[in-house]
Amino acid sequence: MSASASSPFDPIKIGIVSVSDRASGGIYVDKGLPALQAWLTRALKNPLQFEPRLIPDEQATISATLIELVDAGCALVLTTGGTGPALRDVTPEATLAVAHKEMPGFGEQMRRISLQFVPTAILSRQVAVIRNQTLIINLPGQPKAIAETLEGLRGGDGALVMAGIFTAVPYCIDLIGGPYLETDEAVCKAFRPKAAIRTFS
Ligand X SMILES: Nc1nc2c(c(=O)[nH]1)N[C@H]1C(S)=C(S)[C@@H](COP(=O)(O)O)O[C@H]1N2
Residue numbers at the binding site for ligand X (CB under 6 A): 81-84, 89, 114, 117-118, 120-121, 123-124, 140-142, 144-145, 148-149
Q: Which is nearer to ligand X, 148 or 174 (CB)?
A: 148
Q: Which is nearer to ligand ATP, 46 or 138 (CB)?
A: 138
∠ CA 47-152-81 to the nearest 5 degrees?
75
Distance (Å, rounded) from C-alpha 109 to C-alpha 42?
Answer: 22
Shortest spacing between CB 31 and ligand ATP, in angstroms: 4
Q: Which is nearer to ligand ATP, 55 or 187 (CB)?
A: 55
The binding site for ligand ATP (CB under 6 A) comprises 20-23, 28-32, 57, 81-82, 88, 141-143
Shortest spacing between CB 69 and ligand X, in angstroms: 19
Q: Which residues pair with 154 in a beta bridge?
A: 160
Shortest spacing between CB 136 and ligand X, in angstroms: 15
Select the residue whose beta carbon is closest to ligand X and give its number: 141
Q: Which is nearer to ligand ATP, 57 or 174 (CB)?
A: 57
